[in-house]
Amino acid sequence: MASIDQYLAKEISLKHLELHLLNLPEKESFISSLGKRSSKQILIIKWIDKDNNNGYGECSCRTDPYYSAEFVDASIILIN
């Protein structure tokens, strides 16, 4: 079995990315001064290299640019 150092030192190349936008239901509704939220939009990113190895990442920022420039649609624009 390869050590973590060998794995991290391995050169990889991008074949393509898959972006999956999901609406994740909350276990219980969340109520704040902004309103009631019963689900959260998240972005799952799948990286596939030339050898068909893959990995996943996620972006779970807000759906709107409330206090920050980080929001789901901007993340999609940046990746594309």
Instruction: Flag whether the pTM goes above 0.85.
Output: no
Which domains are seen in the chain, by residue range? 9-79 (3.30.390.10)
pLDDT in tens, 12-42: 788 999 999 898 898 999 888 878 888 888 8
pLDDT in tens, 42-77: 889 998 999 898 999 888 777 777 777 777 887 888
Length of the chain, in residues: 80
Distance CA 72, CA 78 (A): 10
Say if residues 57 and 79 touch (Cβ distance below 8 Å). Answer: no
Q: Which residues are within 8 A (CB) of 7 and not within 5 positions of it... i.e. 6 or more apart? A: none
